[in-house]
Amino acid sequence: MNLVDCDHCHKPFNIQPKEKKHGKGIIETYFTCPHCKQRYTSFVTNAEIRKRQREIKKLHESVHKPAKDYTAGRINERDYKQAIDRIHEKIDKKQAALEPRMQELKNKVAR
């Protein structure tokens, strides 16, 4: 359960995410307090942002390959750690570039 307290009325409720399409491929994900109807925008994405998110997801999934190679004895611990560090650096770089774009879009769309 995603039980949270509303910042507005302070009553507890379960988060039930909803999506609203704004046109031009823009999708807002939000939830609403069932007591006072206060709306909370979680995030807003467009096609470009979703593409970048998929790239980040693939990088997260790519961590499994060096792990498998290490457990199978194909690479040593140092090479394993270096491979993981490189993947995490790429993830961090992509996320850092993505966050301001997402915030800018959220500021334009959210009420």
Write down the pLDDT at residue 110.
Answer: 79
Q: Specify burial of residue 90 (Cβ count, 10 A radius: 0-12, 13-18, 19+).
A: middle
Identity at 77, one-letter amino acid code? E
Domain count within the chain:
1
What pTM was estimated for this model as a whole? Answer: 0.82
| Residue 51: alpha-carbon gap to chain centroid | 12
pLDDT at 86 over 90: yes
- Beta carbons of 36 and 8 less than 8 angstroms apart: yes
Question: What are 1-54's pLDDT values in tens digits?
Answer: 679 999 999 999 999 999 999 999 999 999 999 999 999 999 999 999 999 999
Q: Which percentage of the chain shows pLDDT scores above 70?
A: 98
| CA pair distance 87, 16, nearest whole angstrom | 33
Q: Could you list the residue range(s) of the whole structural domain that residue 63 is in?
A: 3-109
Q: Please list, in sequence order, all residues whose beta carbon lies within 8 angstroms of the beta carbon of residue 98, skipping any fewer than 6 positions away.
A: 49, 52, 53, 56
